[in-house]
C-alpha cells in the first residue's frame, strides 16, 4: 500500500507537469514522452483521467468539487486540480483518488 | 451486546463497531473515507447525503443543509424548496444515521446503537438525538457524552485505573468543545464544559488565505479589491478562491509534518497578464496567523480550571480530539501555556466513535427486533440496459411489479464513482449510468421500504465499455513483430495484436537496438510484421509489412541499447501504418502497408531459407535420436525443397517484377509450416514436462525455505498456469518456467543444504580443461563446507562454472533483425 501511495504522489506530479507543458509553446516534443509515461502507468494498472470539460451531474461521485459562481444547475468541470485515478485490481477498477475539481454552471 | 457506536458530529459523523476487544471504524463504500459529512441535500428529486451533498452546501442553501446538530431540540426547521416540504433537524440527523448504516459491509443490521452527544446538550436536545435514532430505524438508542466517549477510547489505550481528573480538548472542523472529566469510584463523569461553536480547522485555512496569500498578492500587483473579488460569488476571482481553499488546506496539512510548504497557483493580474505564483509558507508564518485562535481555546481552558479551582498539576492530562489537533502548535502551546501533559494516545478523528463503540461493547441489548419487514418475493424487477457500450453513459431502465408503495431506490457503481442518491421509486426507474472507459462497470441496485429496510438488491448489473463488442471485424490471426532471439541465434515472434481483437487497433512498443548500426555501413534494422500464430516460427507466418532502415538513412550512428519506438496502427480494413521513431537521432519513419500489396524482400528471404535449413537439420538429428524415423524422413524431404528454393532465390534480382519471389516465399512458408507441424507438439510437450518438474520442485523448496515475498510471487505466477498451458505457445510455457526458476534459484543459493549439493555436482565433473585449478577449488570447497563458510562456497561454485568449456555448436551465419 505504501508503494501505491507513492505511485499516486508521482501521478499527481506527472499531472502537474502535463498541465504546465500544455501551456508552454515549444513543448510539443515532450508529448511523446508524456504519452509513454502514461502507458507505463497503465501497465501498472493505473488509469489516470482528467475530466476537464465534462459534465458534473448530481450522480457523479468520482470527484470532490467546489462550485464557482452562483448557480448549481447544469455544472461543468472547468478546472482540474487533481486527476481521477483508478487502479485495476483483477479486472475491477478501484477508485484510488477522487478528482479535485472546480465546477461552474453552463448557463 | 450493542457493539455499534456513532459519533454524530456537527460537521462529520463516524461509525464504529466493537468486536472482541478491538474497535473497527467503518468506511464509506463510496469513496472509502472513515468520515461522513453531516450534510443532507434535496436536489432534482434525489436525496444526497454526505460528500456529494456537501459540494452544494454553500451554493444551494435552500435545498442543502448542514450543521443541523446545532438546532437539535429547538423549534427551528428547514424549508426545502425543491420538494416543498419542511424538514426538522431530527429528520436530517436521521438521514445521516441511515446513511451510516450503509457502511456496514458484513450484512449485519444493528437494532441497538450508542450515539454520542455534546456535553452541553440538555435533556431536550438529547431526546431529539434519540428520536433521530428511532427514525433511522434503530429500536434502541443509548446516548453517551462526547468527552466521556473520547475518555473511554483513551482509557482503553492505557492501564490507568485510579481516580483522576482530565480535560478533553476537542477542536474539530468548525467547533471547539472543552470538557472537564473525572473518574470517581469507578464512574466517569463530565463535571464542567465550555466551548465555541464557531471556531475550528476551517478557520485556520481561511487565515492562510486572508493573512498570508492575499497580502502576498497585494504586494506583487495592484489589485482593486482582491478580498471582495475572491469571496463574492460574482467576483472576478471567485473560482480562484476555491482553488486557494484546497491549497490552503494542503499547506496546513503539510506544515503538520514539515517546516515549510509551498503553494502555487495561477492568477490573472489586473493588467490582463497571467502570472504563475509560487512561494513558500513556513510553519512559523502559519502559526503566527492562527495564534489568536489557539490562544482563545487556551483561555477557555483557563476559565474552566478557574471555575473549578483547579491547578494544572491536579490534572492527569489533556486529551486531544478532533482533526485540527494535529497542528503541532496546538499541542505545543497547550503544553507551554498551561503546563499540562498533552496526551495524543488516541486517533483524534475517530476517538469519539471508538469510545462509543467501547461503551456499546459493554452494554447488553434490551431490544428485540420485530417481525421481518416485506420480503423480496413481493417485488419483481425487470431491468433493461446495454451490456456493452462505446459511450460514456448508458441508459438504464427497470420496471417493477408487486408491492411498490413508499419505496426508494439507489443505484451505485462498484468503484464509488457514481451514485444516484436515494430516489422515490414509482414502479419505473430510468437513469443514465456513467461508465468508466475500457472497463467492466459493475452497478448495484438497492430498493428500500419506508423503514429504510432493504427489500431488493441486484449487484449483477454489468456494462462493459469499449473493450469487446463488434466495433469492426475481429482479427483472424495474431499479428506479431519479429525480434532477435540472441540465445538461440535466431529470431522469434512477439505478439502485437492478439487474434480476435476488434479492429481498429493501435499500440506502441519500445524496443532497444541490439547491435550498433553505423551511418556509413550497409547494416540495417529490419522491422517485420507478420500475421499468423504467435507460437510458430517467423518463417511460417505471412509477412504483412517489412521496413528496412539502412545505415545511410540515419543522421547519427544508432548505438546498441538505444531505444526505438514502434507505433503500429491497423485500420478496420487491415491497412497497417508503422511509425518508427529513433530516439537517438530524433528521426521518424512512417510506412503504410495495404493488404493487397504483399512484401517480400529477397535478401531476407534468402536468410530465412538458410535459417530454416539449419533448423530442419537440427530437427532431423533430434528425431533420429528419439528414433522417430518417419518424422525424420518427412523432414528430410523438406531439405530438398529448401535447397531448390535457395538456388532459385539467388538468381532473383532485388527489384524483380515477376511473381517468382512470391512463389518462393510461399514455398518457404510451406516448408516452415510443415516443420512446425511435425515438431511443435514435441516442443510443447517437453516444455510442459519441464514446467511441471520445475513447478513441483519449486513448491517443495518454497514450503521449507521460501520467504513470504517469494511465496506470493510464486502463487501469482501459478494463477497464469491454466491459461498458458491451454494456449498454443511453447515460448509462453518456457517463459513461465523461467520465471519460476528465477524465484527458486536465489533460495538454492542461500540455503546451505542446496548450496552444498550444487557444489557436489560441480565437484563431480571431470570436464575441466584446467584440472589443477579445478582441484584446488575443490579443496577449498571441501574446507568451506567443513567451516560452514557458505559465502566462500558460493564463490567457489561460480568459479568452477566459469572454468567449464563452452559448448561448441554448428551455426549458420544469420544477420537477424537488429532489434530485441
The answer to whether the Cβ–Cβ distance between A66 and B55 falls below 8 Å is yes
Task: Please tell me which residue of chain B has the smallest CA distance to A105.
Answer: B59
Of B454-463, B681-690, B806-815, the range with the lowest mean pLDDT is: B806-815
Within 8 A of B60 by CB-CB distance, chain A residues are: 72
**Residue B495 pLDDT > 90, yes or no?**
no
Task: Supply angle C-alpha B527, B528, B530, rounded to 5.
Answer: 150
The answer to whether the Cβ–Cβ distance between B59 and A88 falls below 8 Å is no
Q: Same fold for the domain at B1-157+347-368 and the one at B159-345?
A: yes
- Is A85 part of the contact surface with chain B (CB cutoff 8 Å)? no
Residues in Cβ contact with B227 at an 8 Å cutoff, skipping those fewer than 6 apart:
B210, B214
Distance from CA of A30 to the nearest CA of B (A): 12
Query: Length of chain B in residues, anyone?
Result: 820
Tell me which architecture the domain covering B1-157+347-368 has in CATH: 2-Layer Sandwich (3.30)
The residue whose grid cell reads 459491509 is: B105
Which residues share a beta bridge with B145?
B117
B307: enclosing H helix or E strand: helix B283-307
Give burial (CB, 10 Å; 0-12/13-18/19+) of A7: middle
Distance from CA of A70 to the nearest CA of B (A): 6
Within 8 A of A32 by CB-CB distance, chain B residues are: 565, 581
> How many Cα atoms occupy the beta-carbon half-sphere of B513 within 13 Å?
23
Query: Length of chain A in residues, anyone?
Result: 107
Q: Are B7 and B14 in contact (CB under 8 A)?
A: yes
B629-643: per-residue pLDDT in tens?
A: 888 888 898 898 889
Q: Cβ of B411: how many Cβ atoms within 10 Å?
A: 21
Secondary structure (DSSP) of B717-767: HHTTHHHHHHSS-HHHHHHHHHHHHHHHHHHHHHSHHHHHHHHHHHHH---
Give burial (CB, 10 Å; 0-12/13-18/19+) of B9: buried
Write A24-28 long-range contacts (CB < 8 A, 24+).
none
Within 8 A of B431 by CB-CB distance, chain A residues are: 59
Candidates B242, B439, B461, partner chain A, best to mutate (most A CBs within 10 A): B242
Q: What is the pTM of this model?
A: 0.63
Distance from CA of B565 to the nearest CA of A (A): 10
* Domain B478-593 belongs in CATH node 3.40.640.10: no
Q: Using alpha carbons only, how large is chain B's radius of gyration in Å?
A: 38
Distance from CA of A104 to the nearest CA of B (A): 9
The answer to whether the Cβ–Cβ distance between B56 and A72 falls below 8 Å is yes
Of B308-312, B352-356, B685-689, B710-714, the range with the lowest mean pLDDT is: B685-689
Within 8 A of A71 by CB-CB distance, chain B residues are: 59
Residue B197 C-alpha from the chain's centroid: 39
The answer to whether the Cβ–Cβ distance between B508 and A35 falls below 8 Å is yes
- Dist. CA B665–CA B649, nearest whole Å: 9
Within 8 A of A84 by CB-CB distance, chain B residues are: 417
The number of helices, as runs of H, and strands, as runs of E, in chain B is: 20, 34
Within 8 A of B44 by CB-CB distance, chain A residues are: 58
- Dist. CA B599–CA B593, nearest whole Å: 9
- Dist. CA B301–CA B120, nearest whole Å: 15
The answer to whether the Cβ–Cβ distance between B246 and A100 falls below 8 Å is yes
- Is B510 part of the contact surface with chain A (CB cutoff 8 Å)? yes
- Is A79 part of the contact surface with chain B (CB cutoff 8 Å)? yes
Q: Are B254 and B281 in contact (CB under 8 A)?
A: no
Q: Could you tell me which residue, B167 or B539, shows the higher pLDDT?
A: B167
Which residues share a beta bridge with B454?
B448
Q: How confident is the model at residue B163 (pLDDT cuts 50, 70, 90)?
A: confident
Within 8 A of B238 by CB-CB distance, chain A residues are: 68-69
Q: What is the 3-state secondary structure (H, E, C) of A29-88?
A: HHHHHHHHHHHHHHHCCEEEECCCCCECCCCECCEEEEEECCCCCCEEEEEEEECEEEEE
Q: Could you tell me which residue, B657 or B353, shows the higher pLDDT?
A: B353
- Dist. CA B508–CA B412, nearest whole Å: 35
Percent of chain B with pLDDT over 90: 26
Please provide residue A48's backbone torsions phi and psi, each rounded to the nearest 5 degrees: -105, 125
| Count of A-B CB contacts under 8 Å | 104
Task: Please tell me which residue of chain B has the smallest CA distance to A69.
Answer: B233
- B contact residues 440-479, partner A, Cβ 8 Å cutoff: 440, 442
- Dist. CA A95–CA B419, nearest whole Å: 13
Predicted local distance difference test score (pLDDT) of residue B535: 67
**Residue B31, C-alpha cell as written in the block:** 469513496
- A contact residues 36-55, partner B, Cβ 8 Å cutoff: 36, 39, 47, 49
Which residues share a beta bridge with B398?
B383, B429
**Residue B466 pLDDT > 90, yes or no?**
no
Average pLDDT, chain B: 84
Q: Which of B49-58, B363-372, B796-805 has the highest mean pLDDT?
A: B49-58
Distance from CA of A19 to the nearest CA of B (A): 12
Residues in Cβ contact with A74 at an 8 Å cutoff, skipping those fewer than 6 apart:
A55, A105, A106, A107
**Residue A84 pLDDT > 90, yes or no?**
yes
Percent of chain B with pLDDT over 70: 91
Report CA torsion sign: B86, B92, B94, B96. positive
**Residue B280, C-alpha cell as written in the block:** 513558500
Which CATH class name applies to B159-345? Answer: alpha beta
What is the arithmetic mean of pLDDT over B423-450? 88
Within 8 A of B242 by CB-CB distance, chain A residues are: 66-68, 102
Task: Please tell me which residue of chain B has the smallest CA distance to A80.
Answer: B243
Of B363-372, B489-498, B751-760, the range with the lowest mean pLDDT is: B363-372
**Residue B286, C-alpha cell as written in the block:** 502559519
The answer to whether the Cβ–Cβ distance between B56 and A67 falls below 8 Å is yes
The answer to whether the Cβ–Cβ distance between B31 and A95 falls below 8 Å is yes
- CA B758 vs CA B241, B700, B768: distances in Å: 69, 17, 16
B141: enclosing H helix or E strand: strand B140-145
- Dist. CA B444–CA A76, nearest whole Å: 26
- Is B435 part of the contact surface with chain A (CB cutoff 8 Å)? no
Which CATH class name applies to B379-470? Answer: mainly beta
Within 8 A of B234 by CB-CB distance, chain A residues are: 69-70
Within 8 A of B249 by CB-CB distance, chain A residues are: none
Predicted local distance difference test score (pLDDT) of residue A76: 96
Predicted local distance difference test score (pLDDT) of residue B597: 55
Domain limits, chain B: 1-157+347-368, 159-345, 379-470, 478-593, 602-746, 751-803
Give burial (CB, 10 Å; 0-12/13-18/19+) of B63: buried
Predicted local distance difference test score (pLDDT) of residue B810: 33
Q: What is the ipTM of this complex?
A: 0.85
Q: Are B31 and A98 in contact (CB under 8 A)?
A: yes
Q: Are B446 and B409 in contact (CB under 8 A)?
A: yes
- Is A25 part of the contact surface with chain B (CB cutoff 8 Å)? no
Q: How confident is the model at residue B561 (pLDDT cuts 50, 70, 90)?
A: confident
Which residues share a beta bridge with B464?
B388, B440
- Is A102 part of the contact surface with chain B (CB cutoff 8 Å)? yes
**β-pairing verdict for B524-531 and B422-425:** unpaired
**Residue A43, C-alpha cell as written in the block:** 501497465
- Is A89 part of the contact surface with chain B (CB cutoff 8 Å)? no
The answer to whether the Cβ–Cβ distance between A39 and B508 falls below 8 Å is yes
Q: How confident is the model at residue B592 (pLDDT cuts 50, 70, 90)?
A: confident
Please provide residue B676's backbone torsions phi and psi, each rounded to the nearest 5 degrees: -55, -45
Mapped onto helix, strand or coil, the DSSP state of residue B700 is helix
The answer to whether the Cβ–Cβ distance between B442 and A68 falls below 8 Å is no
**Residue B592, C-alpha cell as written in the block:** 503504410
Predicted local distance difference test score (pLDDT) of residue B814: 34
**Residue B700 pLDDT > 80, yes or no?**
yes
Amino acid at each position: 500500500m505504501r508503494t501505491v501511495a507513492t505511485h499516486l504522489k508521482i501521478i499527481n506530479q506527472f499531472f502537474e507537469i502535463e498541465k504546465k507543458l500544455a501551456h508552454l509553446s515549444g513543448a510539443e516534443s515532450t508529448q511523446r514522452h508524456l504519452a509513454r509515461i502514461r502507458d507505463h502507468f497503465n501497465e501498472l494498472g493505473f488509469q489516470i483521467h482528467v475530466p476537464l470539460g465534462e459534465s458534473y451531474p448530481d450522480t457523479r461521485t468520482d470527484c470532490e468539487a467546489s462550485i464557482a459562481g452562483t448557480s448549481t444547475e447544469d455544472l461543468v468541470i472547468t478546472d482540474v486540480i487533481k486527476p481521477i485515478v483508478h487502479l485495476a485490481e483483477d479486472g475491477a477498477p478501484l477508485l484510488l483518488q477522487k478528482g479535485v475539481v472546480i465546477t461552474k454552471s453552463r448557463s | 451486546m450493542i457493539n455499534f457506536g456513532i459519533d454524530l458530529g456537527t460537521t462529520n459523523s463516524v461509525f464504529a463497531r466493537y468486536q472482541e476487544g478491538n474497535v473497527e471504524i467503518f468506511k464509506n463504500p463510496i469513496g472509502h473515507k472513515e468520515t461522513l459529512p453531516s450534510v443532507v441535500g434535496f436536489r432534482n428529486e434525489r436525496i444526497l447525503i454526505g460528500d456529494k451533498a456537501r459540494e452544494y452546501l454553500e451554493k444551494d442553501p435552500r435545498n442543502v443543509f448542514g450543521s443541523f446538530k446545532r438546532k437539535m431540540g429547538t423549534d427551528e426547521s428547514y424549508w426545502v424548496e425543491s420538494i416543498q416540504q419542511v424538514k426538522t433537524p431530527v429528520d436530517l440527523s436521521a438521514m445521516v444515521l441511515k446513511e451510516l448504516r450503509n457502511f456496514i459491509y458484513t450484512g449485519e443490521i444493528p437494532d441497538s446503537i450508542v450515539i454520542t452527544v455534546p456535553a452541553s446538550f440538555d435533556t431536550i436536545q438529547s431526546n431529539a438525538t434519540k428520536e433521530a435514532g428511532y427514525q433511522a430505524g434503530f429500536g434502541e438508542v443509548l446516548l453517551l457524552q462526547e468527552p466521556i466517549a473520547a475518555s473511554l477510547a483513551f482509557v482503553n489505550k492505557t492501564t490507568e485505573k485510579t481516580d483522576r481528573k482530565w480535560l478533553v480538548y476537542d477542536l474539530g472542523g468548525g467547533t471547539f468543545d472543552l470538557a472537564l472529566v473525572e473518574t470517581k469510584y469507578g464512574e466517569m463523569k463530565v463535571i464542567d464544559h465550555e466551548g465555541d461553536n464557531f471556531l475550528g480547522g476551517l478557520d485556520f485555512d481561511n487565515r492562510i488565505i486572508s493573512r498570508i496569500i492575499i497580502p502576498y498578492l497585494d504586494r506583487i500587483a495592484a489589485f482593486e479589491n482582491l478580498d471582495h473579488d475572491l469571496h463574492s460569488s460574482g467576483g472576478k476571482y471567485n473560482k480562484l478562491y476555491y482553488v486557494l481553499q484546497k491549497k490552503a488546506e494542503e499547506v496546513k496539512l503539510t506544515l503538520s509534518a514539515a517546516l515549510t510548504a509551498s503553494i502555487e497557483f495561477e492568477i490573472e493580474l489586473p493588467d490582463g497578464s497571467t502570472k504563475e505564483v509560487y512561494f513558500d509558507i513556513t510553519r512559523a508564518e502559519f502559526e503566527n496567523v492562527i495564534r489568536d485562535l489557539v490562544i482563545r481555546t487556551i483561555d477557555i481552558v483557563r476559565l474552566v480550571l478557574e471555575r473549578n479551582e483547579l491547578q494544572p498539576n491536579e490534572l492527569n492530562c489533556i486529551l486531544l480530539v478532533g482533526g485540527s489537533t494535529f497542528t503541532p502548535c496546538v499541542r505545543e502551546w497547550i503544553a507551554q501555556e498551561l503546563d499540562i501533559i498533552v496526551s495524543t494516545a488516541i486517533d483524534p478523528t475517530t476517538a469519539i466513535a471508538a469510545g462509543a463503540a467501547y461503551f456499546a461493547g459493554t452494554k447488553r441489548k434490551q431490544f428485540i427486533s420485530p417481525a421481518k419487514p416485506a420480503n423480496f418475493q413481493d417485488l419483481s424487477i425487470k431491468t433493461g440496459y446495454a451490456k456493452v457500450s462505446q459511450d460514456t453513459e448508458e441508459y438504464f431502465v427497470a420496471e417493477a411489479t408487486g408491492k411498490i408503495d413508499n419505496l426508494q431506490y439507489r443505484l451505485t457503481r462498484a468503484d464509488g464513482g457514481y451514485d444516484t442518491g436515494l430516489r422515490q421509486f414509482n414502479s419505473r426507474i430510468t437513469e443514465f449510468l456513467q461508465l468508466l472507459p475500457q472497463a467492466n462497470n459493475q452497478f448495484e441496485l438497492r430498493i428500500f421500504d419506508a423503514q429504510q429496510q432493504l427489500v431488493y438488491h441486484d449487484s449483477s448489473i454489468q456494462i462493459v465499455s469499449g473493450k469487446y463488442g463488434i466495433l469492426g471485424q475481429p482479427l483472424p490471426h495474431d499479428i506479431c513483430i519479429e525480434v532477435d532471439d540472441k540465445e538461440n541465434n535466431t529470431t522469434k515472434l512477439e505478439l502485437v495484436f492478439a487474434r480476435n481483437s476488434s479492429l481498429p487497433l493501435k499500440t506502441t512498443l519500445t524496443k532497444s537496438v541490439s547491435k550498433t548500426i553505423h551511418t556509413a555501413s550497409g547494416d540495417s534494422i529490419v522491422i517485420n510484421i507478420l500475421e499468423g500464430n504467435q507460437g510458430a516460427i517467423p518463417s511460417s507466418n505471412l509477412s504483412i509489412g517489412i521496413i528496412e532502415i539502412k545505415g545511410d538513412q540515419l543522421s547519427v550512428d544508432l548505438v546498441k541499447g538505444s531505444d526505438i519506438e514502434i507505433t503500429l496502427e491497423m485500420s478496420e480494413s487491415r491497412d497497417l501504418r508503422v511509425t518508427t521513431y529513433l530516439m537517438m537521432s530524433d528521426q521518424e519513419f512512417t510506412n503504410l502497408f495495404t493488404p493487397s500489396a504483399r512484401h517480400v524482400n529477397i535478401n531476407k528471404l534468402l536468410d530465412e531459407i538458410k535459417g530454416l535449413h539449419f533448423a530442419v537439420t537440427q530437427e532431423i538429428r533430434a528425431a533420429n535420436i528419439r528414433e522417430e524415423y518417419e518424422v525424420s524422413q518427412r523432414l528430410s524431404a523438406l531439405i530438398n525443397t529448401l535447397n531448390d528454393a535457395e538456388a532459385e532465390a539467388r538468381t532473383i534480382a532485388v527489384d524483380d517484377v515477376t511473381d517468382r519471389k512470391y512463389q518462393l516465399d510461399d514455398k518457404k512458408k510451406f516448408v516452415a509450416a510443415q516443420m512446425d507441424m511435425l515438431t511443435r507438439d514435441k516442443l510443447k510437450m517437453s516444455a510442459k514436462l519441464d514446467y511441471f518438474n520445475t513447478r513441483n520442485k519449486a513448491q517443495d523448496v518454497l514450503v521449507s525455505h521460501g520467504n513470504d515475498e517469494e511465496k506470493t510471487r510464486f502463487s501469482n505466477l501459478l494463477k497464469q498456469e491454466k491459461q498458458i498451458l491451454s494456449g498454443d505457445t511453447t515460448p509462453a510455457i518456457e517463459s513461465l518456467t523461467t520465471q519460476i526458476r528465477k524465484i527458486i534459484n536465489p533460495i538454492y543459493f542461500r540455503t546451505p543444504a542446496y548450496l552444498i549439493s550444487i557444489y557436489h555436482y560441480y565437484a563431480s565433473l571431470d570436464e575441466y580443461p584446467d584440472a589443477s585449478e579445478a582441484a584446488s577449488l575443490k579443496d577449498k570447497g571441501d574446507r568451506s563446507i567443513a567451516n560452514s563458510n557458505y559465502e566462500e562456497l558460493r564463490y567457489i561454485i561460480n568459479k568452477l562454472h566459469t572454468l567449464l568449456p563452452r559448448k561448441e555448436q554448428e551455426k549458420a551465419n544469420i544477420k537477424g533483425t537488429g532489434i530485441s
